[in-house]
Amino acid sequence: MHSNFQAIASGLVVILATGVLGASEDPCTEISNSYARESSSQKRVHVPAQLAVDCLTSMPFDSEKGVSFIDEYSKYLEFQSDLELLANPPPSSLSNRVDLRAGLQSIRSYASRGLYSNQFHFDSDLMDLINSANDGHLLITPCSSTAFTFMASDLVLVSISVDGVSSPQVYTQHDAKLLAAGLNDISPVTYINGVGAAALIEYQSRFQRLQDPDARYNMMLSNLPYNGQGVSNSEPFAAETVWRETSSYYLTFANQSSQSYDVLAVVTAPGGFSYKSGSDLFEGLCGTTTSPTTSPSGTPSTSASASAPAVPSSTSTPPPTTYPTPVMREEHNLVVGYYPDEPGLEDVAVLSVPTFETADATGLDALAPFAEIAQYFVGNATLDGKKRIIVDVQNNGGGVVDSGFALFSVFFPNETLYSATRFRAHDALDFMGTIFNGINPDNVSETIQEGLSSSGLVVQLMDNPNQESTFGNWNDFFGPYDADGIPSTSLVAEFNFGVEANPSTNPINTDGLGGDLNSMTPPFAPEDIIVLTDGRCSSTCTIFTDHMISKGVKTVAMGGRPSSNPMQAIGGIKGSQVEVLSNIDTGSQLAVSLLNGSITAGTPLLTTENMTRFEKVMPIPLENFPLPLAAGDRNSINYRNTYTKTDETTPTQFVYELATCHLFYTAQTLVNPAVTWAQAANATWGSGSCVGGIQAGNSIGSQSFDDNVSSNSENDSVSSPGTHTALGLLLALGSGMD
């Protein structure tokens, strides 16, 4: 089924592509001339997609460097928490089956056999492989991928239903807003490039870094024109750095009219574009002497963030556009409280939480105001007679884990905070732990002590999920223990809440001890709380939401693929820590230098035999990579899996978990977010209905969902590297192009 889409899409492409060939000037020179002309006057310089592709594919490829790059990158990938389960997911999970290590070996073998003709195809295969894990914490940004982003820049799509429950249809956002304004001569999009619109969107969403197919579908659309922070959210369709061989999208509407949208390549090369040829571009972006590979990381070690959500600046921002007037808000709209006056919401308060990114590298430090304003709003809402509350976390990509726990503690102040994580247990982690725990911490500099504690691998600083310190030594902790096929460490708490929380700077409430977070009893009964998502809830958002669900709150999931099925509320990575590769680099180099010091001192921390293995498995510095990765923390892995009290072996991202209620967006919800809240309230507490009916109780793991649209046995990332051009051409021939 999928290859048919590809055939049709790429068939169109080949026709368009041949029209552009034959230009006499070097395509890169042409781009650099455009850039020189336009960069001063235009914020975003773009060029025809095919021209960018011609330039990218004229880059050389050095097989030897490619092979050695894979070998070095593979050492970093060992830190990814769930490699074994990704390759062999449990039947209830909707995750793709993807063996990342086998996939890398496959790309390596293509490289070593000289089957890549340019760097761009190699990099594209790498991105497709890594992104096919659909994990928001797992990200690779190879050198050539920073040059351009392809997008149909004028095409913004939405998916709306007439009543929130009937199957939705695809519209352009422009048309949907006309519909909302009462215009009638508006048609849904029936086909895109000759393929059913919904089917094409779902197919195009397959590399989005969200685990749930409905969440991925939402990612392709702009059903939330403004996010909860008031930032415009109207993403162009199909923005990607991998070229999908589609030069334009041809939309056919139900009334038989049609419209075509060109795909453009936006120049995103760091430092602009002045490259005159493919080799020039290679030298500039992929030469080992130029591009810096690491940047100082300001990410707090507890931060877990799936993507780069709109980063609030450290200055105040205005209240969110199109939303009702807030009752109370944090000055960057990190939390905003509303008393909407929509019918049906008279006794319902709404707390919008668009992000948990309460601290960042720009100096934002809003852990305390975030938690306190949530507390004040909830406290005042109960005094003001509100009986129920909706916590709106639509498109919340996560952030600081502490803030997730803080918000949970606002709602359940008298509960013990439970946090259970595991690292993947592999040799490099074992060596780091052995060395970090083998030295005398009193005998090293303060800088080294800080490095050790931020590694998260010092046994003395670890607690088990019950917040008790129980690990005698590194080996007790490391194991390895088998957890659903993943060699794993013991369960360990993300941190000790007693040490981590601070009543004034980082308040988290346990039994009234959170400073201004001082309630002793829950402000609302669990059944009077809805957590509202659009599936795009990742990282800290998943920790918060899963904790809320464990206490019996209801969830409503918005949007998703057209169907009459229920939907998952949490569609993003449920891992509890993202780790940028530059931090793994720092940890590895610390291990190297401490080991070296111990050898010099005559008290080596590893046996000779282990030192040989150490040399082999430890990640080398990123700056020594044969091909650089992009700067700026755009390369990361999921470092820790998260587990629940009831299942200590299956990482939560592999647990299928239905929302209490599934609803679709409507034309009205596009222009007024309060309509979404009213719909969710009516379906949960009133007489409204849900797509697929109300799901009873806590459905964690209770469903074996035989998904009719997506397959979880997809395997193409392992079996077809290097096929970007080849596959497209083959299918074009197969579909009868002349």
Ligand X SMILES: *[C@@H]1O[C@H](CO)[C@@H](O)[C@H](O)[C@H]1NC(C)=O
Which residue ranges make up the site for ligand X (CB under 6 A)? 175, 185-187, 253, 255, 257, 343-344, 376, 379-380, 383, 414-415, 430-431, 434, 440, 443, 521-522, 565, 592-593, 596, 600, 607, 609-610, 678, 682, 686-688, 705-706, 708, 713, 715, 718-719
Task: Write out the H or E segment, with its range, that includes residue 690.
Answer: none
Q: Which is nearer to ligand X, 253 or 370 (CB)?
A: 253
- Minimum Å gap between C-beta 512 and ligand X is 12
Task: Write out the H or E segment, with its range, that includes residue 343.
Answer: none
Report the distance separating Cα 281 and Cα 37, nearest Å: 19
DSSP state of 577: E
Q: Which is nearer to ligand X, 42 or 443 (CB)?
A: 443
**Which string of DSSP letters, residue by residue, matches 516-536?**
TB--SS-SS-GGGEEEEE-B-
Q: Which is nearer to ligand X, 24 or 257 (CB)?
A: 257
Q: Which is nearer to ligand X, 175 or 585 (CB)?
A: 175
**Which string of DSSP letters, residue by residue, matches 700-738?**
TT------SS--S---HHHH-TT-HHHHHHHHHHHTT--
- Minimum Å gap between C-beta 613 and ligand X is 6
Report the distance separating Cα 374 and Cα 49, nearest Å: 46
DSSP state of 312: P
- E strands, 571-643, are 577-580, 636-643
566 Cβ neighbours under 8 A, 6+ residues apart? 557, 658, 659, 662, 690, 691, 692, 693, 695
- Minimum Å gap between C-beta 299 and ligand X is 26
- Minimum Å gap between C-beta 593 and ligand X is 4
- Minimum Å gap between C-beta 566 and ligand X is 9
- Minimum Å gap between C-beta 279 and ligand X is 34
48 Cβ neighbours under 8 A, 6+ residues apart? 20, 247, 262, 264, 265
Strands 258-262 and 248-253: antiparallel
Gap between the terminal Cα atoms of the chain: 23
- Minimum Å gap between C-beta 451 and ligand X is 14
Give ∠ CA 159-164-169 in degrees, rounded to 5.
30
- Minimum Å gap between C-beta 707 and ligand X is 7
- Minimum Å gap between C-beta 678 and ligand X is 6
Q: Which is nearer to ligand X, 531 or 718 (CB)?
A: 718
- Minimum Å gap between C-beta 343 and ligand X is 5
Nearest to 603 by CA among 476, 438, 487: 438
- The position carrying tokens 């921390």 is 605
Strands 248-253 and 481-483: unpaired
Q: Which is nearer to ligand X, 132 or 305 (CB)?
A: 132
Q: Which is nearer to ligand X, 61 or 171 (CB)?
A: 171
Report the distance separating Cα 599 and Cα 434, nearest Å: 14
Q: Which is nearer to ligand X, 165 or 401 (CB)?
A: 165
Report the distance separating Cα 173 and Cα 171, nearest Å: 6
- Minimum Å gap between C-beta 602 and ligand X is 9
The residues facing 349 across adjacent strands are: 389
Report the distance separating Cα 243 and Cα 264, nearest Å: 11
CB 178 within 8 A of CB 256: no
Q: Which is nearer to ligand X, 287 or 621 (CB)?
A: 621
Categorise residue 591: left if φ over 0, alpha if ψ from -120 to 50, beta otherwise: alpha
- Minimum Å gap between C-beta 37 and ligand X is 34
- Minimum Å gap between C-beta 681 and ligand X is 8
Q: Which is nearer to ligand X, 310 or 556 (CB)?
A: 556
Q: Which is nearer to ligand X, 468 or 706 (CB)?
A: 706
CB 229 within 8 A of CB 317: yes
Residue nearest to ligand X (CB): 379
- Minimum Å gap between C-beta 174 and ligand X is 9
Q: Which is nearer to ligand X, 706 or 738 (CB)?
A: 706
500 Cβ neighbours under 8 A, 6+ residues apart? 302, 402, 506, 508
Q: Which is nearer to ligand X, 609 or 615 (CB)?
A: 609
User: Distances in Å between the alpha carbon of 372 and those of 88, 328, 406, 663?
Assistant: 43, 11, 9, 31
Q: Which is nearer to ligand X, 47 or 532 (CB)?
A: 532
Report the distance separating Cα 708 and Cα 711, nearest Å: 8
CB 251 within 8 A of CB 261: yes
Q: Which is nearer to ligand X, 317 or 715 (CB)?
A: 715
- Minimum Å gap between C-beta 573 and ligand X is 23
